[in-house]
Amino acid sequence: MCPSVAKEVVVLSLVEGTAHESKDGGRNYKRKLGLWIRPLATKEASFLCDDEGGSDYARRLKGRIVRSAMKSYKLSELTHTEVDSLKARPRVDFSSIFSVVNPIVDDVRCRGDAAVIDYTAKFDKVVLDKVVELVSDLPDPELDPAVRKAFDVAYSNIYAFHDAQRVPEKDIENMTGVRCKRIARCIGAVGLYVPGGTAVLPSTALMLSVPAQIAGCKTIVLATPPGRDGSICKEVLYCAKKAGVTHILKAGGAQAVSAMAWGTPSCPKVEKIFGPGNQYVTAAKMILQNSEAMVSIDMPAGPSEVLVIADKHANPVHVAADLLSQAEHGPDSQVVLVIAGDGVDIDAIQAEVSKQCANLPRGEYASKALSHSFVVFARDMVEAISFSNLYAPEHLIINVQDAERWEGLIENAGSVFLGQWTPESVGDYASGTNHVLPTYGYARMYSGVSLDSFLKYITVQSLTEEGLKNIGPHVAKMAEVEGLEAHKRAVTLRLQEIEAALPASLT
């Protein structure tokens, strides 16, 4: 029989279809073993038990569920230290990763294409006869019409949204004779990293190449791991051709990033590298941006993550699907559910998570991700969004009634999805926003990829003689304060020349 709800609770964590039980006198949210646990409603206790008294559904799924539910916490009962620990991401030991990546970076610098070929054979088990392909030399790939249409729609929306980000030049006269403006110029050569590990990601090819195309970047190198036969994924190639990619580097990992940063006989050297990747790709980007390669990167990257805020009006089926859509990326994905207010059917959400997870092709990845994810109970939306701002998620879903009214409180997030009809998946693929976003809490200080990411801004000033007369004395005085005599003289010599040229009657 199931344990008595009055005497015991069940921690919200399933392992191989069984429930972990803990003695508790019926108090809400008693702290045990570092987890917040609570008495369960009869329906939830029935769902989690798989003995003779448990539900048929739980028995049917026994052995198929691997940690598909999440730890639970109540915000109002947590200390500041405990909240800080919740918002912290898993620590990554980059020192050990750097020790692996540094030799690859140096080897590619020295041996170029030969090193890329060797590492591709070692890590991807593919022997390349050619490292880089000119996109203009490749035939158009044959795609299913429905697939082609989907990518065409995505391209159109991504193009429209990023093209609208152009900022018109403004010429400002700050004071009489003193004009200033800012002009935009594209980054000449950019490198785009499109992962290929456990999933093919042609959508990332669009997200990176479309803004580069709009910016006018002249050299666009797209790096992606080759197929087992050394070929380029046809969907990635289709997107690359459509969005103006010039070269495709048939390699992944640290070796691909290094080839783009240093340049090789076949791979053009780039000036900025974009795109998500695993820890080794991220480490290579970090190493190279601080090296003699003279290359910058878009942002630090980490595992994919989502924070979902749900109230009593949220459909449990939708909430579960949104959680799993991020969890399936990989076992290190970060998934957080924040319950806002009372009346939320957490039992139904947990049941839906387990049900949907059991039927996912990548359910094993999802269940492992959920094993280190958690649920937070907030008293209201203000507290829920306050926690989200502390967490600074890559993706923030607000699935509550009148979701738009809360937009003004959002301070830190990579991309936001408002309302019950806005799944995170639309941003991943085709709404038009960019899915290359800051993770690991970097949304506190970084933005996602945009048109600006592919531009550099140059300021221009132009003074007339009158303008220098107006501003010059102030500049000279400031230079004097800072003890920079040459700065002062660059102004005063000109002012003296102007004064000397004036008719005697005007001096």
Query: pLDDT digit string (tens) for 450-476?
Result: 999 999 999 999 999 999 999 999 999
pLDDT class for 91, splitting at 50, 70, 90?
confident
Q: Please report the pLDDT score of residue 49 as a whole number.
A: 31
- The answer on pLDDT for 20 being more than 70 is no
Q: Is 60 left (phi over 0), alpha (psi -120 to 50) or beta?
A: alpha
Tell me the per-residue pLDDT of 256-271, one tens digit each, with 9 for 90 and over. Answer: 999 999 999 999 999 9
Of 34 and 366, more confident? 366
β-partners of residue 178 are 175, 463
Q: Please report the pLDDT score of residue 66 as a whole number.
A: 39
The catalytically annotated residue of 395, 407, 474, 485 is: 395
pLDDT class for 506, splitting at 50, 70, 90?
low
Q: What angle is formed at CA 241 by the lines to CA 240 and CA 246, rounded to 5 degrees?
A: 75
Q: Please report the pLDDT score of residue 40 as a whole number.
A: 34
- The answer on pLDDT for 242 being more than 60 is yes
394 classed as catalytic: yes
How far does CA 398 lie from the centroid of its chain?
18
Task: Say which amino acid occupies 337.
Answer: L
Q: What angle is formed at CA 339 by the lines to CA 334 and CA 344, rounded to 5 degrees?
A: 130
Helix H, strand E, coil C: the string for 329-347 is CCCCCEEEEEEECCCCCHH
Please give the model's pTM, rounded to 2 decimal places. Answer: 0.85
Portions of the chain given CATH number 3.40.50.1980: 8-89+303-429, 94-164+183-302+451-456
pLDDT class for 69, splitting at 50, 70, 90?
low
Asked if residue 376 lies in contact with residue 338, where contact means CB atoms within 8 angstroms, the answer is yes
- The answer on pLDDT for 433 being more than 70 is yes
CATH architecture of residue range(s) 8-89+303-429: 3-Layer(aba) Sandwich (3.40)
What's the whole-number mean pLDDT along residues 117-137?
97
Superfamily of domain 94-164+183-302+451-456: Nitrogenase molybdenum iron protein domain (3.40.50.1980)
CATH, domain range 461-506? 1.20.5.1300
**Token output for 199:** 């999933």
Portions of the chain given CATH number 1.20.5.1300: 461-506
β-partners of residue 415 are 395
- The answer on pLDDT for 197 being more than 80 is no
Percent of the chain whose pLDDT exceeds 90: 79
The catalytically annotated residue of 352, 394, 424, 435 is: 394
